[in-house]
A = this chain, B = another copy of it.
Amino acid sequence: MPSGTKSPSKKAGSNGKADLNGSLNGYADAMKSKLGKSVYYFGKNKTEGNARMKLVLGGKGANLADMTSIGLPVPPGFTITTDTCAAYYKAGKRLPHGLMNEVQKNIAQLEKDTGKKFGDAANPLLLSVRSGAAVSMPGMMDTILNLGLTDAAAEGLAVATGSRRFAFDAYRRLINMFGDVVMGVDHEHFEKEFDKIKLRYNAKLDTDVPTEGIVQLCEAYKAVYRRYVGEDFPQNTFKQLELAIEAVFKSWHSERAIVYRRINSISGLNGTAVTVQSMVFGNMGDDSGTGVAFTRNPSTGDNIFYGEFLINAQGEDVVAGIRTPKPVAEMSKWNKKAYDQLIKIKNTLEKHYKEMQDIEFTIERGTLYMLQTRNGKRTGFAAVKIACDMVGEKLIDEKTALVRIPAGDLTQLLLPSFDPSKRKSATVIAKGLPASPGAAVGKPAFTADEAVKRARAGEKVILVRKETSPEDVEGMHLAAGILTSTGGMTSHAAVVARGWGKCCIAGAGEIHIDAGKGQFTVRGKTFGRDHVISIDGSTGEVIEGELPTVEAKLSGDFAKIMRWADKYRTLGVRTNADTPADAQRGRDFGAAGIGLCRTEHMFFEGDRIKSMRKMILAETKEAREKALNELLPYQRDDFVGIFTAMKGLPVTIRLIDPPLHEFLPHDDKSQQEMARALNLSIEKIKQRVSQLHEMNPMLGHRGCRLCVTYPEILKMQVTAITEATIECLMGKIKVSPEIMIPLVGTKRELAVLREEVEKTIAEVKLAQDYKPRLDIKIGTMIEVPRAALTADEIAQNADFFSFGTNDLTQMTFGFSRDDINSFLPDYLNRELLPVDPFQSLDQGGVGQLVRMGTEKGRATRPDLKVGICGEHGGDPSSVHFCHKVGLDYVSCSPFRVPIARLAAAQAAIMAAK
């Protein structure tokens, strides 16, 4: 390392980081030297990036470069890479050495292409500075517009544009935005000055203030800036630019950005890119305007150009939802030429990207400019329809269609919708824009904070707001649905809700909200925090009271996608089901068997719990057996029901798993009732409850450990299964039972219990004089780390393995699911974990055990059937992992079966690539 680079490392040492073990010594230098090119230019004469560089340039930067390349009218600019953002943080929030030199060179190119000059008084080059990560995070990051204006340049712009009002309006916007976003001056301070000016000129709207008022406003804003920042608003435009770039980098770790990433499980990104682009203005008068549009309807998927625009406005005004914009179709009346050009561009973009696009455009004095294109966010409904349509249009093939639908978004198609038969009698109190489909019922909450608090307390709430802003995301996420009174289909509320598949109605203008009073009024009626409303995101109707819902069905495009998925996937999909009803639902959604049938639920219904408690309180083996015999017929009938529903498909039955104390009541009153019912003293019951109490029940006397100490429980359950099997077979119903022994950790455990299962089956056959061979498989759950580690030994006595990844995750991490909430939020916020490992399988850790268990098990027994049950079986990324590891099937709750089928197909298609 050259000696000249040592000084930053010394500097780092002085703030106490680099003194030990030298891990940070010279880090910033190391990063810089690795960084290489930090800035990519795009413009008519020279374009350095392309659409494939999203990880480096962010989605926005990459696509601007791409659009420039294919000849679309894009204002020129350049993008600073996401690596630079990472380097900024790793160097302790300092811009990497040499970056501003590179920026300067690109500004020079930009001056050449635009004919304007950055910082020039006569013909100033104005810039927008925007953020853009590899994954789109709409509205999450800060933007600065009109950068490059100074006192002198404002005057110059006034001359150049012929509009002094426009020039100083742009200047006051810059001072406001820069003060707020870059320097952290509260927006309110600026607003107060504006209010004073309006009062002075007796102006109602901003636009009513005359030019001289706006010029005065700039002075007032500069005074605000000076007061709160402690220095003058910078008249050096490079200083402006440097601070703005830093502000974008900083916004990457703003609280709202962190929350957004957490909610959307976005992790592993480098940081944000910064796109610096020459400004065009939609607010230069009535021949100017700005708009956003989707090439198809993002809510329904219909192939109709779909968007909104505002005349004489800057881009942010559309998205912010402050003014309600006009549908894009009306643009042809206003500027036919620009509209036709936009339609042509729309078609070009869809053909180019073979994907539905979300675009932003501006018309400056009649000329169309494209400011952004990206793959449009859409609802699950739209994703399915667009994918099917594009296959029909021969734009894409089936595999591409399958890969493109976010499997998790199918949830929306599986959610209940309002019962059409009950619709007639419903009272519709208002109608808004159907911004995101779905059926939500709840009570109004009037701020995001209120929604968070009430939702966490278990209430179902509808967030009712004039408009939403990025600060509201947590409340939006926790609300059952969102209803806004202003804003269009592309407003913040609409875009974010669609991204999540959450029901949303936007711009329901008849509704008048009084958040202070906690109520809204519509057509003379007032609704407070206690009034239940129903909102239909597919029709835009707001309904009084609770409307009943009906369950979803697989039909139309959805069914088509499922057929394609089955064609390409190799991984089996089963369902978790404990009742005949669940079993049937799983089959309806395409499950090829039951991967987990929990038997403990069968002990709770009706009178059964009484027998179960008798068993637990019994003092001798005989008394336990007597109580168990009372349970036997119930269990047998349960199994007959489930076998019948599954018509010969395999049914994996897990023997009793939870610790016995879960079956006993823990409060005084219930214990007294139990004492009376069982004719026992309350002391005896309390004594047994306390005897069964465990410090760590998760790691206690449960699973197969119960069958080791109480073999009679195993005997009863296996008897019930075998009798049910014989009963079905005698009635010509096919059955494939699989007995699963839970929580096995050693070879001997399974060997001994398997022997007892086999013995019981043989005894039942003998007692029933049933001669033919019974095909009952016996296997185990791999859910204790030791079982995965010794899977080669355990497989000697197993016909199948099923990974119980819930418990395996608990034990591999040492996380109790019941207790994790005391620290999980901190872990997610500080990115100590990329996602909640109980929602998505931890492939790096727990996944190693799944892979090891599978490989070792199959080394002993190549025909070993291996599956996974538990929450992860319905999580798309976990399904991908299961495919990669070569499992035979995943099993998940009935409603997640279609998601697993699609995810399995995607995994197969992507693996083949």
Any B CB within 8 A of the CB of A815: yes
Residues from chain B with Cβ under 8 Å of A784 in the complex:
812-814
- Cα–Cα, bound, A604→B361 (Å): 67
Q: Tell whether, in the assembled complex, residue A815 and residue B17 are in contact, meaning their CB atoms are under 8 Å apart.
A: no
A124 at the interface (CB under 8 A from B): no
- Find chain B residues with CB under 8 A from A833 CB: 746, 748
Q: Is the CB of A695 within 8 A of B818?
A: yes
Contact of A786 with B758 in the complex, beta carbons under 8 Å: no
Contact B20 A748 (CB under 8 A): no
Instruction: Judge whether A822 is part of the interface by a CB distance below 8 angstroms.
Output: yes
Q: How far is the CB of A870 from chain B (nearest CB, A)?
A: 15
Cα distance A705–B814 when bound, in Å? 11
What residues on B are CB-neighbors of A696 within 8 Å? 696-699, 816, 818-819
Q: How large is the interface on A (under 10, 10 to 19, 20 to 34, 35 or more residues)?
A: 35 or more
Closest Cβ of chain B: how far from A307's Cβ, in Å?
Answer: 42
B residues in contact with A813, CB < 8 Å:
745, 784, 786
- A555 on the interface (CB 8 Å rule)? no
Instruction: Enumerate chain B residues within 8 angstroms of A649, measured Cβ to Cβ.
Output: none
- B contact residues around A789 at 8 Å (CB): 812, 845, 848-849
Which residue of chain B is the closest to A846 with respect to CB atoms?
A: B786
Please state if A699 and B698 are interface contacts (CB–CB under 8 Å).
Answer: yes
Closest chain B residue, CB of each to CB of A695: B818
Q: Contact between A700 and B822 (Cβ–Cβ < 8 Å)?
A: yes
* In the bound complex, CA of A527 to CA of B254 (Å): 79
Distance in angstroms between the alpha carbons of A759 and B844 in the assembled complex = 29
Set of chain B residues within 8 Å of A20, measured between Cβ atoms: 758, 761-762, 774, 776, 778
Given A19-B765, A699-B696, CB of A812 within 8 Å of CB of B786: yes
Tell me the complex Cα distance, A830–B762, Å: 23
* CA A54 to CA B111, docked complex, whole Å: 95
List residues of chain B with CB within 8 A of the CB of A748. Answer: 831-833
Contact, CB under 8 Å: A694 / B848: no
Q: How far is the CB of A585 from chain B (nearest CB, A)?
A: 31
Chain B residues whose CB sits within 8 angstroms of the CB of A694 once the complex forms: 816, 818-819, 822
| Residues in B whose Cβ lies below 8 Å from that of A844 | 790, 793
Q: Which of B23, B823, B832, B842 contacts A752 (CB 8 A)?
A: B832
The yes or no answer to A901 lying at the interface (CB within 8 A) is no
List of B residues within 8 angstroms of A745 by Cβ: 813-814, 845
- Chain B positions within 8 Å of A812 at CB level: 784-786, 789, 811
- Most B C-beta atoms less than 10 A away, residue of A19, A699, A816, A826: A699
- Given that A746-B833, A812-B811 are known contacts, is A823 also in contact with B705, CB under 8 Å in the complex? yes
Which residue on chain B has the smallest CB distance to residue A765?
B19
Find residues 789-832 in chain A having any chain B CB closer than 8 Å to their own CB: 789-790, 793, 799, 807, 810-816, 818-819, 822-823, 826-827, 830-832
* A762 to chain B: closest residue by CB: B16
Given A20-B774, A746-B833, A789-B845, check contact A708 B762 (CB 8 Å): no
How often does this chain occur in the complex, in copies? 2
Q: How far is the CA of A783 from the CA of B813 in the complex (A)?
A: 10
In the complex, A709 Cα to B825 Cα: how many Å? Answer: 10
Q: Interface code A744-781, partner B: CB below 8 Å = 1, 0 otherwise?
A: 01101100100100110111011000000110101000
Residue A571 at the chain B interface, CB threshold 8 Å: no
Q: Provide the residues of chain B in CB contact with A799, threshold 8 Å.
A: 21
A610 interface contact, C-beta 8 A: no
| Cross-interface CB contact of A758 among B17, B708, B773, cutoff 8 Å | B17
What 0/1 pattern do residues 837 to 870 of A give for CB contact below 8 A with B? 0000010111011000000000000000000000
A462 CB–B CB distance under 8 Å: no
**Residue A613 lies at the interface, judged by CB distance under 8 Å to chain B:** no
A743 at the interface (CB under 8 A from B): yes
Asked whether A701 is an interface residue with its Cβ less than 8 Å from the other chain, the reply is yes
Residues from chain B with a CB closer than 8 A to the CB of A849 are 785, 789
Closest-by-CB residue of B relative to A849 is B789
In the complex, which residues 695-736 of chain A have their Cβ closer than 8 Å to any Cβ of chain B?
A: 695-701, 705, 708-709
Assess the A786–B752 pair: CB atoms within 8 A.
Answer: no
| Docked complex Cα distance between A802 and B251 (Å) | 40
With a CB–CB cut-off of 8 A, which chain B residues contact A17? 755, 758-759, 762
Chain B residues with CB under 8 A of A705: 823
The verdict on A827 contacting B758 (CB below 8 Å), with A813-B745, A814-B811, A816-B696 known, is no
A816 and B759 form a contact (CB under 8 A) = no
Task: Note all chain B residues with C-beta closer than 8 A to A810.
Answer: 699
Question: What B residues does A790 contact at CB under 8 A?
Answer: 844-845, 848
Contact B816 A763 (CB under 8 A): no
Flag if A701 contacts B786 (CB, 8 Å): no
CA distance A709 to B695 in the complex (A): 24
Report the minimum CB–CB distance from A847 to chain B (whole Å).
9
- The interface centre, meaning the residue of A23, A696, A766 with most chain B CB atoms within 10 A of its CB, is A696
With both beta carbons as reference points, the residue of chain B lying nearest to A815 in the complex is identified as B699
The CA-CA distance from A743 to B773 in the complex, in Å, is 51
A814 close to B699 (CB less than 8 A): yes
Interface mask (A683-695 → B, CB under 8 Å = 1, otherwise 0): 0000000000011
CB distance from A403 to the nearest CB of B (A): 30
With a CB–CB cut-off of 8 A, which chain B residues contact A21?
758, 778, 799
A811 and B789 alpha carbons, distance in the complex (Å): 13
1/0 per residue A232-256: CB within 8 Å of B?
A: 0000000000000000000000000
A816 touches B700 (CB 8 A): yes
Q: Mark A203-247, 1 if CB is under 8 A from B, else 0.
A: 000000000000000000000000000000000000000000000
Interchain residue pairs with CB less than 8 A apart (5):
A19-B765, A696-B696, A705-B823, A745-B845, A786-B845
5 A-B pairs with the lowest CB-CB distances in the bound complex, closest first: A16-B762, A699-B816, A696-B816, A695-B818, A786-B845
Q: Which residues of A contact B (CB under 8 A)?
A: 13, 15-17, 19-21, 23, 694-701, 705, 708-709, 743, 745-746, 748-749, 752, 755, 758-759, 761-763, 765-766, 773-774, 776, 778, 783-786, 789-790, 793, 799, 807, 810-816, 818-819, 822-823, 826-827, 830-833, 842, 844-846, 848-849
> Other than the known A19-B765, A700-B816, A811-B811, what 10 A-B pairs have Cβ atoms closer than 8 Å?
A21-B778, A21-B799, A23-B758, A695-B816, A696-B697, A709-B822, A709-B826, A752-B830, A786-B842, A793-B844
